[in-house]
Each structure stands twice: as C-alpha cells, then as structure tokens.
Amino acid sequence: MNSKDIVYVNGSFVPRAEARISVEDRGFVFGDGVYEVLRVVNGRPFAARFHNDRLKRSLEGVRISLAAGDSPESLTEIARQLLRENGLLEGEATMYMQITRGVATRAHNFPTPDVSPTIYISVARFAPYSDLARNGAPVITHPDLRWGRCDLKTLNLLPNVLASQTAKERGAFEAMLIRDGVVTEGTKTNFFGVVDGSLRTHPSDTHILPGITRSVLRDLARQVNIDLDETPILSDEIPRLSELFLTGTTTDVMPVVRLDDKPVGKGKPGELTKRLQKVLADSLASGGD
C-alpha cells in the first residue's frame, strides 16, 4: 500500500495520505458500520452480485441507509474507477468498501436528525497465498466469543482480531472458532471438513458470516457432484477429520494440515480439498459469475 494511492472518501478521490474522516465518526467511536472485501482478477470483481447482496443485507441489518442515488452497485462502480486510477486493471487486486453511520456527537442512539453515512473505498494489489495453498496451513482452535449476529459483516471485529493474533503468536495461519461444542467458522474464513467420508460445513445462520467463497464453492461442488452436508462439525468429531480446509475471498480454498499442532488426516492436503481448490481456481480464472 502506498500513501499516494488514490482512495475514495465521501464523494472525493484523494491520495490515501490526504484522506480524512472526523474523530466523531461513529465507525471510529463505536465500530458502527459495515464493510465488504471483493477479489478482483484482471479488472473484474469476482462474484460482485453476491457481495452487493450481502452488503445490502448488512446495511439493512444495522439500519444504515445509503443516500439516494448510492447503492452497493454504485459503490462497486466507484471501486472500478479506483482500479483504473491506481493502475490495477491487470493481475490480482482487492476492493475494500466501508460504510459507517456517519459523524455525530457521541451518543449510543442513532443521530437525530439523520446524518449522511461515511463511505470509504480503496483498492490494493493482492498476492494469493500460493505456498500455503499448495502445502496446507496450520490452524488452532479458539473459543468463539462473538455476538449473536455474526451473519452481518460489521466493523466490530475485536474478538476476531484477538483470536487471529493468538493464532499468529502460536505460529498458525487462522483460528477455527468453537461455540458450545460446535465449529462455527474462522476469524476471516469459513471452515469445511470431511468427517467419516462426508463433506460438512456450518449452515448459513446467525452464528457465521455467509462467506461469498463458501456460497460459490457450494454451487461449484454441486456442479461436479460433490455432496455438501450443511451440518456443523462438532468439536468431539475433530479427531475424526480426514480433511479440513478454509475458504475466503483472499484465501480461496486453503487446506488445513495441522490443527492445534496435530496432523489433520495424513497431514497433507486431502484429495477432495484439492479437487475443490481446482474448481474454485478455474472459476476465478474464468471471471466467475
């Protein structure tokens, strides 16, 4: 990331170093906002329709209204303009969009009268994790200490940040979160595992973020006749996992080969994982939807 990169803040295209928001922004004070991250391949945002739908749902879920004329689609269009401005129309990149409730004197209730939401959009060069994708990643288990609406992509990421930092300090790539004896998801990824031969993942409910990669992969799996059982993996079943992988916009399908310092299955990427990794890679390369 470069301070000269052009970013978008509230209607203006400015160098990153000159971008400003108020200290009274509710995103800063309360984490009162939502965000999206999209993958871009050769100037084309992958699965943009799914991301737009999820952003709309997140905004509705926290009751933030965009100004008339703004929409998830128009924000994606601004992000496309940023790709052009920053010379990122070729190769791999990401788009980041954040919307907060806006600027108001600190009070928990929504501001009255209404204030305009703050909109921040940026793009960045991206390099996929090719070594970990090939060889697999180490992961730790960690208690899921988050709130009751994990299905909304909000800025309130402190439990995710703390669990992710613990993973890093223990030499792991990600923390697999466990709530009440159930594997929910990762701090920034969804988890899939093979137990007694069947591929399982947590169903899409309020305990997990409905990952776009998760949805895309579910559709691709169906197309290649791989059954997916949306029954969560229980922590008691962890010793019986023969394969484990995580998914995300910036991680794709990443095999997990060690969990809490013990090998998963044979300790190398599993066959089903590698097949799914390939179908997702092909879909990304062909521009997706």
Spatial separation of the C-alpha atoms in residues 19 and 12, rounded to whole Å? 9
Nearer to ligand PLP, 103 or 209 (CB): 209
Considering only 75, 137, 209, 220, the residue that binds ligand PLP (CB under 6 A) is 209
Assess contact for 101 and 110: CB atoms under 8 A.
yes
Binding mask 237-276 for ligand PLP (x = CB under 6 A): ----------xxx---------------------------
Task: State yes or no: residue 211 binds ligand PLP (CB under 6 A).
Answer: yes
Spatial separation of the C-alpha atoms in residues 282 and 38, rounded to whole Å? 17
Assess contact for 194 and 243: CB atoms under 8 A.
yes
Task: State yes or no: residue 124 binds ligand PLP (CB under 6 A).
Answer: no
Q: Is 222 exposed, middle or buried (0-12, 13-18, 19+ CB in 10 A)?
A: exposed
Tokens read off for 63: 């009751």
Task: State yes or no: residue 212 binds ligand PLP (CB under 6 A).
Answer: yes
Site for ligand PLP in 10-39 (CB under 6 A): 37
Spatial separation of the C-alpha atoms in residues 212 and 36, rounded to whole Å? 10
**Residue 63: its H or E element:** none
Assess contact for 232 and 182: CB atoms under 8 A.
yes
Radius of gyration of the chain (CA): 19
Q: Give me the least distance between CB of 1 and ligand PLP, in Å please.
A: 18
Task: State yes or no: residue 45 binds ligand PLP (CB under 6 A).
Answer: no
Task: State yes or no: residue 188 binds ligand PLP (CB under 6 A).
Answer: yes
Task: State yes or no: residue 72 binds ligand PLP (CB under 6 A).
Answer: no
Task: State yes or no: residue 190 binds ligand PLP (CB under 6 A).
Answer: yes
Q: Is 63 exposed, middle or buried (0-12, 13-18, 19+ CB in 10 A)?
A: exposed
Q: Give me the least distance between CB of 36 and ligand PLP, in Å please.
A: 8
φ, ψ at 281 (rounded to 5°): -60, -40
Considering only 5, 144, 174, 185, the residue that binds ligand PLP (CB under 6 A) is 185
Pairing of strands 92-100, 241-248: unpaired
Is 153 tagged catalytic?
yes
Count of residues touching ligand PLP (by CB under 6 A): 13
Q: Give me the least distance between CB of 101 and ligand PLP, in Å please.
A: 20
Q: Which of 56, 153, 168, 188 is catalytic?
A: 153
Q: Give me the least distance between CB of 115 and ligand PLP, in Å please.
A: 27
Q: Looking at 17-25, 137-145, 185-193, 272-280, which segment touches ligand PLP (CB under 6 A)?
A: 185-193
- Tell me the catalytic residues: 153
Instruction: Point out which residues bind ligand PLP (CB under 6 A).
Output: 37, 185, 188-190, 209, 211-214, 247-249
